[in-house]
Amino acid sequence: MRFAEKIVWVCLITISIVFSLGSTIMIVRNHQHLLDTTIKQNIAFHEMSIYSLESKVFQDYYRRDLSDETQIQERVRYYIKQFETSIKSVTYAISNTQDQVIYSYIPQELQTYITKQNDQVYHIVNKSKQFMIMTSQVKIGNTVLYLTGCYDISPCFEEKNRQVITFVMIDITVIGISYFILRFLSRYLTQSIEKLNKTSQRIASGHYGERTQIQTQDEIGELSQSFDEMAHMNEKRIEELKANLEQREEFMGSFSHEVKTPMTAILGFAEMLYTMDCDEETRRKAARYIYKEGKRLENLSYTLMELLSLGDKKIELKTICIDHVIQQLKEYYQNKDNIIFHTHSCQVYSHQELLFTMMRNLIDNALKASLHNEDVIIETLLKDKHLTVMIKDQGIGMSEENIQKITEPFFMIDKSRSRAQGGAGLGLSIVKRICDVHQTQLNVESQLGKGTIISFVLEVQNNEE
């Protein structure tokens, strides 16, 4: 059963129980009250009738001098008939002290209730009608008679039945109306749950971008918000994994190409040398290729090791003096006279070996781009606790689209030239990894034919100028 339906039925059952209980109590109390009133009225009426009968017969008794008991009975009968004709809901019976019924208009089956016991109230159900029977003593002179009145109290019960029927009708109507209102309301209330459900199903079927976007202020709203957050995190994670996988696949593809190409050459030329007696020229050529391609493999393995070692371990940064790194670089490039250093001396938050590797790679690239030994300038800029390190060259520069790709592993703008200079296309991948460790970014500005400026920012610690 749907949740909305459950709400509807629970409410309906509650409403009908409470409503029926209330109505029943009301009907019962109403009926009781009405019955009591009717009985009291009838008693009063009966007493009045006795009194009026006694006084009327008594007057006659004196005026006409009714000495005979039969004559008195005759008068009584006469007056009672008068009463009966004036009020329709009452019938009377008269009996004497010997329990003999002298006169009776009471229906045959109620005759047994005629007694001479005084002031007795009976409530009898007869067929579909209800009667109240009451007997009182009538005294006229020495004559004692008993008057039994039979009052029809059916309207009292008819009223109750009418109320019950009305109640049932109202009950049905109320439940019917409630059902439709509840249905509408519960639909409205549960539509966000429905939406949540649909969204999660869509996410499960692969539409990771789906969101519930329910903005209500209740628990469902909160749940939806948490759900959306979760979906967002999941989507991000899945995308990350996908990107990661793609990157890895691309890396493996490039890597296998980079390894298999020199391997093919080495194996092929070695096979040639081994299988047949080649002439001098071919032999030298083959040997040269084997050496060159072997060198390339060696280079690749070193660079790759460097890159991989950066990926594995957690690198801790500490405060170092940038002067040491500059000194190290100056020693490394002592044979090059076209490198100019304009640097500040300060303490930066970094790692000596990594900073050296990074700057060495960048300077190597700058040198490779400077085909005619143009100057390469290393400059630093100190501003607000940040040190910007710039490597400027006036070399061949890069196009806009190539700048986007330079940090991809094995990417080379000019393959044959890079090869000739012993590159494998991994230098800037290493630089990027080191930048990630420093939580800084590599900024590249370049113009074809004019040169390139590569810069990165380091955090300055306890600056002493």
Partner 1 sequence: MKMRILIVEDERAIADLINMNLTRVGFACDWAHNGKQGADYIETNKYDLVLLDIMLPEISGYELMEYIRPMKIPVIFITAKGSVKDKVKGLRMGADDYLVKPFSIDELIARVESVLRRYHKGMQVVHVLDIQIDTLSRTVMQNKKIIHLTHKEYDLLYYLVQNQNIALYRETIYEKIWEDSEYRETRTVDLHIQRLRKKLNWNEYIKTIFKIGYMLEVKS
> Is 117:97 a contact under the CB 8 Å cutoff?
no
| 441 secondary structure, DSSP code | -
Q: Among residues 392, 378, 384, 319, which one has the least CA distance to residue 344?
A: 378
Smallest separation (angstroms) from partner 1 to the CB of 412:
8
- Structural element, H or E, at residue 232: helix 219-275
Of 9, 79, 83, 289, the one binding partner 1 (CB under 8 A) is 289
Backbone angles phi, psi at 421, to 5 degrees: -90, 5
| 413 secondary structure, DSSP code | S
Angle at 111 between CA 108 and CA 112, to 5 degrees: 135
- C-alpha radius of gyration, the chain, whole number: 58
Return the number of the residue (149 or 409) whose C-beta is nearest partner 1.
Answer: 409
- Size of the residue set binding partner 1 (CB under 8 A): 27
282 part of the interface to partner 1, by CB under 8 A: yes
Smallest separation (angstroms) from partner 1 to the CB of 427:
18
CA distance 387 to 326: 14
275 part of the interface to partner 1, by CB under 8 A: yes
Backbone angles phi, psi at 25, to 5 degrees: -60, -45
Smallest separation (angstroms) from partner 1 to the CB of 400:
16
401 part of the interface to partner 1, by CB under 8 A: no
Of 123, 139, 232, 260, the one binding partner 1 (CB under 8 A) is 260
Return the number of the residue (81 or 242) whose C-beta is nearest partner 1.
Answer: 242
> Is 102:77 a contact under the CB 8 Å cutoff?
yes
Strand-pairing partners, residue 132, are 123, 151
Stretch that binds partner 1, among 184-192, 200-208, 254-262, 352-360 (CB under 8 A): 254-262
Return the number of the residue (2 or 260) whose C-beta is nearest partner 1.
Answer: 260
Of 262, 423, 427, 451, the one binding partner 1 (CB under 8 A) is 262
Site for partner 1 in 413-442 (CB under 8 A): 415-416
Stretch that binds partner 1, among 114-122, 181-189, 253-261, 385-393 (CB under 8 A): 253-261
Site for partner 1 in 291-310 (CB under 8 A): 292-293
Grouping H, G, I as helix, E, B as strand and the rest as coil, residue 211 is coil
CA distance 26 to 20: 10
Return the number of the residue (176 or 253) whose C-beta is nearest partner 1.
Answer: 253
Return the number of the residue (84 or 249) whose C-beta is nearest partner 1.
Answer: 249
Of 22, 141, 209, 253, the one binding partner 1 (CB under 8 A) is 253
Return the number of the residue (211 or 283) whose C-beta is nearest partner 1.
Answer: 283
> Is 303:279 a contact under the CB 8 Å cutoff?
no
Of 74, 101, 163, 268, the one binding partner 1 (CB under 8 A) is 268
CA distance 361 to 384: 27
Q: What is the arrangement of strands in the sheet containing 90-96, beginning at the earlier edge strand?
A: 101-104, 90-96, 143-152, 129-140, 120-126
Q: Among residues 224, 189, 191, 220, which one has the least CA distance to residue 210?
A: 224
Return the number of the residue (285 or 344) whose C-beta is nearest partner 1.
Answer: 285
Q: Residue 101 to residues 35, 56, 93, 123: CA-CA distances in angstroms?
A: 29, 21, 7, 21
Strand-pairing partners, residue 95, are 101, 146
Q: Which tokens sit at 71? A: 């004559």
276 part of the interface to partner 1, by CB under 8 A: yes
277 part of the interface to partner 1, by CB under 8 A: yes
Return the number of the residue (141 or 253) whose C-beta is nearest partner 1.
Answer: 253
> Is 340:376 a contact under the CB 8 Å cutoff?
yes
Smallest separation (angstroms) from partner 1 to the CB of 291:
11
Return the number of the residue (33 or 288) whose C-beta is nearest partner 1.
Answer: 288
Of 241, 267, 371, 448, the one binding partner 1 (CB under 8 A) is 267
Of 52, 67, 213, 256, the one binding partner 1 (CB under 8 A) is 256
272 part of the interface to partner 1, by CB under 8 A: yes
Smallest separation (angstroms) from partner 1 to the CB of 260:
4
CA distance 406 to 444: 10
Residues binding partner 1 (CB under 8 A)? 253, 256-257, 259-265, 267-269, 271-272, 274-278, 282, 285, 289, 292-293, 415-416
